[in-house]
């Protein structure tokens, strides 16, 4: 299976970077699935049903959210209605939406997408290891599921790395998101899982994590500013990964970084 995962989409610049480049991505990589992290797609915080539909209509097979899942209130019913969008698995089943989804692809294969959220430097959340262990009891990679992509949405690089090694050989891909800075460590781990600490963002890189620099600079200088983060509106760049998995085992054969 050939899978493309596009990193955190930040505001209009990020949306356009993805939507405008989908034809080129398809032409170059011939992917079986395109997955997008959309949790910053609406003015930098959350996503709306309309934005999600734009991605799906353009050929995106699955959408992954994050710690800003519930920032746009109109998304909440959509999280339950749309089977192609997920939020962190370890926020608990009592919350709207689902933490994992099976995506049926036109080639007859199935891709399981899962999101976990980290615990360091983020709001309190359930144990991600317990959550993924319970989920994976129902899946046998390469047998009843063709491939498994796990997004680790976390601040701490150590948490992302720890999860990568914990899931090595159990899933196809562990991809870090949330910090918006692409890392240079895309590789296949010893037991066959493709890994990267951070996929990077889709947005205006002439910015601070997709936002105009003035307010982040003010927050660095002063404890309280009262200002708001404003998305940067320059030309967007798409960062993502391309992974090819073995159809027999579901494990990764190849991973490379994408920049458009």
Catalytic residues, which ones? 68
Beta bridge partners of 258: 240
Going 192 to 186 to 41 to 228, the CA torsion angle's sign is positive
User: What is the residue whose two structure tokens read 């079986």?
Assistant: 32
Contact 196, 176 (CB under 8 A): yes
User: What is the residue whose two structure tokens read 């601040």?
Assistant: 155
Contact 4, 33 (CB under 8 A): yes
What are the angstrom distances between the C-alpha of 207 and each of 67, 72, 106, 131, 229? Answer: 21, 23, 38, 35, 11
- Rounded Cα–Cα distance for residues 214 and 230 (Å): 9
């Amino acid at each position: 299976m050939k899978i493309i995962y596009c990193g955190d989409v930040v505001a209009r610049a990020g949306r356009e970077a993805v939507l405008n480049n989908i034809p080129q991505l398809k032409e170059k990589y011939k992917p079986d699935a395109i997955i997008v992290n959309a949790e910053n797609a609406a003015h930098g915080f959350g996503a709306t049903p309309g934005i999600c539909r734009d991605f799906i209509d353009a050929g995106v097979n699955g959408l992954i959210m994050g710690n800003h899942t519930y920032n746009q209130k109109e998304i909440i019913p959509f999280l339950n209605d749309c089977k192609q969008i997920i939020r962190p698995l370890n926020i608990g089943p009592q919350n709207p939406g689902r933490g994992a989804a099976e995506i049926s692809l036109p080639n007859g294969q199935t891709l399981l997408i899962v999101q976990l959220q980290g615990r360091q430097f983020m709001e309190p959340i359930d144990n991600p290891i317990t959550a993924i262990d319970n989920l994976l009891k129902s899946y046998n990679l390469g047998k009843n599921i063709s491939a498994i992509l796990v997004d680790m949405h976390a601040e701490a690089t150590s948490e992302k790395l720890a999860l990568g090694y914990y899931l090595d050989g159990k899933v196809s891909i562990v991809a870090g998101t949330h910090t918006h800075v692409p890392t240079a460590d895309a590789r296949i781990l010893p037991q066959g899982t493709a890994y990267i600490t951070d996929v990077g963002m889709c947005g205006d890189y002439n910015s601070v994590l997709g936002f105009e620099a003035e307010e982040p600079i003010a927050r660095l200088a002063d404890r309280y500013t009262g200002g708001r983060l404003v998305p940067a509106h320059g030309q967007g760049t798409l960062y993502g990964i391309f992974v090819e998995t073995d159809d027999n085992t579901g494990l990764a054969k190849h991973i490379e970084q994408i920049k458009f």
